[in-house]
């Protein structure tokens, strides 16, 4: 006979075991463990680099490059919108943006006088210009970004584009090294691309020439006007135009239409008396120049624009002052005039231009009045309560819709 106590304990153990199996079966299944994180590429693991301020220029917006220097001539880089007052034709305007960093690329043009009068400075000019190219164009432009670009023009009795817009330092160096005056040819008549007036062409060729105004006009109107970006020309010359079809005002108007700032480097040089050339050069009469060369003189009659108006009278072509010509061109376009008293100054001057371009602010605003007729509008920008600062920008601009002549 079994012991009743043992039987009871066995029965109780079976009941407890069954109950535990039922409870365990009713528990929800545990979620699967999360998958391991996917490996990231090295580029994704790196923190994003801060990007430059992106300027989105609207159709009616005006963009002004602005340079500010203190009383010692040092660039000032800590200013903001509230530090300035802007007027257009005397009316206050609202500044939309004011920044030093920008996504807009540089569009630069080097214009070099290769006439006999400045031949003594050519070696130093080449070296200074090449160094400037290295300072302004990156050695290895980033793929997929709008690269800074520059072109090279030389001018004497003809204007010739030696290198079109390029981001290549090497191409510009090569053309600068080979650059020389236009060579005289046995045939006094040039093709239609380089001479527009047969009756005057042989006279212009015999006496030489410096088509400064034509060179600026070509660079601004034909090369720069359709480009976007921060646009500037650097012009090396003695400033005395001889033989241009365009006038000084035509050249400045073309720069204004194209929103181009012009920096001028004046070198006095020597008076050009004859038709020979002072040094050899590879380029000469190749038919790639700007139409011109037929007209002696090259004065700048006309007027200077006020608010939407016409330019007032200026000096005649007779007795040109090359230094004043270069000063006028720079001042009217918001650039800066430099005088190289000796050839050793050129390297420093080009370095200062590069520093200024890199240190500029960009100001944008939308004019309070719509102008669909392409009128000229006078601009005045002042620093509030900061009389010791020198603020430089363009004197004015042409509204969209106008055309250069």
**324 Cβ contact list (under 8 Å, min separation 6):** 239
pLDDT of residue 387: 86
pLDDT of residue 236: 98
Residue pair 323/239 in contact by the 8 Å Cβ criterion = yes
pLDDT of residue 146: 73
Helix axes 122-136, 169-178, angle to 10 degrees: 170
- Per the prediction, the chain carries an average pLDDT of 77
Residue 202 has pLDDT above 90, yes or no: no
Out of 106-110, 223-227, 281-285, 292-296, least confident range = 292-296
pLDDT tens-digit profile of 254-280?
999 999 999 999 999 775 444 433 444
pLDDT of residue 304: 33
Out of 57-66, 142-151, 182-191, 235-244, least confident range = 182-191
Q: What is the CA radius of gyration of the chain?
A: 34
Residue 2 has pLDDT above 70, yes or no: no
Query: Is the entire prediction scored with pTM above 0.75?
Result: no
pLDDT tens-digit profile of 72-88?
999 999 999 999 999 99
pLDDT tens-digit profile of 319-329?
689 999 999 99
Residue pair 384/83 in contact by the 8 Å Cβ criterion = yes
Residue 132's CB: how many other CB atoms inside 10 A? Answer: 24
Q: Kindly state the average pLDDT of the residues 360-372.
A: 94
Residue whose structure tokens are 């062409």: 201
With bands split at pLDDT 50, 70 and 90, how would you rate the model's confidence at 178? very high
State the virtual CA torsion across 341, 318, 209, 236 in degrees, nearest 10. Answer: 30
Residue 1 has pLDDT above 60, yes or no: no
pLDDT of residue 166: 95
DSSP secondary structure of 325-359: HHHHHHHHTT--EEE-SSTTHHHHHHHHHHHHHHT
Helix axes 322-332, 248-257, angle to 10 degrees: 20
Integer Cα distance of 364 and 135 in angstroms: 26
Residue 119 has pLDDT above 50, yes or no: yes
Sheet holding 84-88, edge to edge: 91-93, 84-88, 376-383, 396-398
Residue 34's CB: how many other CB atoms inside 10 A? Answer: 6
Q: Kindly state the average pLDDT of the residues 339-358.
A: 96
Identify which of 223, 176, 225, 184 has the alpha carbon closest to the alpha carbon of residue 207.
Answer: 184
CA atoms within 13 A on the CB side of 402: 21
């Amino acid at each position: 006979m079994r012991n009743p106590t043992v039987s009871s304990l066995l029965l109780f153990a079976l009941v407890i075991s069954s109950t535990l199996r039922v409870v365990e079966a009713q528990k929800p299944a545990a979620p699967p463990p999360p998958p391991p994180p996917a490996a990231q590429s090295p580029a994704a693991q790196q923190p994003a680099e801060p990007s430059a301020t992106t300027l989105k220029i609207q159709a009616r917006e005006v963009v002004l490059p602005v340079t500010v220097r203190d009383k010692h001539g040092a660039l000032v880089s800590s200013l903001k919108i509230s530090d300035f007052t802007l007027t257009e034709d005397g009316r206050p305007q609202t500044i939309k943006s004011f920044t030093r960093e920008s996504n807009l690329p540089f569009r630069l043009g080097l214009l070099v006088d290769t006439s006999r009068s400045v031949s003594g400075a050519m070696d130093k000019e080449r070296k200074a210009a090449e160094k400037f190219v290295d300072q302004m164009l990156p050695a290895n432009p980033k793929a997929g970004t709008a690269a800074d670009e520059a072109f090279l023009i030389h001018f004497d009795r003809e204007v010739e584009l030696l290198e079109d817009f390029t981001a290549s330092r090497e191409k510009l160096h090569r053309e600068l090294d080979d650059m020389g005056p236009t060579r005289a040819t046995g045939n006094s008549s040039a093709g239609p691309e380089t001479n527009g007036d047969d009756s005057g062409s042989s006279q212009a060729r015999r006496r030489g020439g410096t088509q400064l105004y034509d060179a600026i006009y070509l660079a601004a109107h034909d090369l720069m006007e359709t480009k976007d970006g921060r646009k500037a020309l650097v012009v090396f010359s003695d400033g005395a135009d001889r033989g241009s079809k365009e006038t000084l005002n035509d050249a400045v108007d073309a720069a204004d239409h194209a929103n181009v700032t012009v920096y001028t480097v004046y070198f006095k040089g020597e008076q050009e008396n004859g038709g020979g050339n002072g040094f050899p050069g590879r380029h000469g009469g190749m038919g790639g120049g700007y139409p011109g060369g037929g007209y002696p003189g090259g004065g700048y009659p006309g007027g200077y624009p006020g608010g939407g108006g016409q330019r007032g009278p200026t000096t005649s072509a007779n007795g040109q002052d090359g230094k004043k010509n270069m000063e006028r061109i720079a001042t009217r376009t918001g650039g800066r005039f430099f005088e190289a008293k000796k050839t050793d100054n050129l390297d420093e001057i080009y370095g200062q231009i590069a520093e200024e371009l890199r240190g500029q602010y960009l100001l944008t605003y939308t004019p309070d009045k719509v102008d669909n007729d392409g009128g000229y509008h006078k601009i005045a920008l002042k620093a509030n309560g900061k009389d010791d600062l020198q603020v430089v920008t363009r004197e004015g601009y042409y509204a969209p819709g106008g055309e250069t002549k």
